[in-house]
Structure 1
Amino acid sequence: MKPALRLLPATLLVASALVAAEDSTEAETVAGFSLSGNIALTTDYLYRGLSQTTGDPALQGGFDLTHDSGFYLGIWGSNVDFADSLELDYYAGYSAEINEDFSYDVGVLYYDYPSDPADPKGDFLEYYASANWKSLTLGFNYSDDFFAETGNALYYYGSYDIDLPKGFGLTLYLAKQDLDEATFGNDDSYTHYSLSLSKEVLGIELGLSWSDTDISKADCAGAGFSRNDCAPTVVFSIAKSM
Structure 2
Amino acid sequence: MRESWLLLTLCLGGCASQLQTTNIQREVGDFDLKLGSAPTRSMAQGLVKPQTSGQVHGGFDLTHSSGWYLGQWAPDLAPEQGEQLTMETYAGFKHPVDDHFGYELGTLLNSYPSVGQMEVEEYYGGLTVFGHRLGASFSLDPDRQDRTLLANFDLQESLGFQVIVKYGNHVLQSPVALADGANVRVFNDWSVNLSRPWLGFDLNLSYSASSLSDGECSAYSGFNTRCDGAMRFQASRPL
TM-score by length of 2: 0.54
The alignment partner of 1:39 has SS state of coil
The alignment partner of 2:184 has SS state of coil
Deviation of 1:130 (Å): 1.9
Correspondence for 2:190: 192
Select which of 117, 124, 132 maps to 1:136: 132
Correspondence for 1:93: 92
Select which of 69, 77, 100 maps to 1:72: 69
Q: Distance in 2 between matches of 1:84 and 1:211?
A: 35
Q: How does 1:88-127 map to 2 (within 5 A)?
A: 88-113=87-112, 117=114, 120=117, 123-127=119-123
Structure 1 92/58 Cα, relative in aligned 2: closer, same or farther at 3 Å?
same
The alignment partner of 1:221 has SS state of helix
Select which of 150, 156, 175 maps to 1:158: 150
Deviation of 1:93 (Å): 0.7
* 1:176 counterpart = 2:168: yes
Asked if the contact 2:134–2:152 (Cα under 8 Å) also holds between the matched residues in 1, the reply is no
Asked if the contact 1:94–1:105 (Cα under 8 Å) also holds between the matched residues in 2, the reply is yes
Q: Distance in 1 between matches of 2:67 and 2:59?
A: 19
Correspondence for 1:19: none
The alignment partner of 2:126 has SS state of strand
Deviation of 1:112 (Å): 3.0
Corresponding pairs, count: 182
Over residues 123-175 of structure 1, what are the superposed CA-to-partner deviations in whole Å (9 max), with x where a residue is unaligned? Answer: 211222221113322232234xx32x236x3513122153769xx98551312
Identity fraction in percent: 21
Greater RCO, CA 8 A, separation 6+: 1
Unaligned runs of 5+ in 2: 1-21, 40-46, 177-182, 235-239
Structure having the higher Rg: 2
Q: Distance in 1 between matches of 2:26 and 2:115?
A: 40
Q: How does 1:13-32 map to 2 (within 5 A)?
A: 27-32=25-30
TM-score by length of 1: 0.53
Deviation of 1:223 (Å): 6.0
Taking only aligned residues, the RMSD between alpha carbons, in angstroms, comes to: 4.8
Unaligned runs of 5+ in 1: 1-23, 41-47, 200-205, 237-242
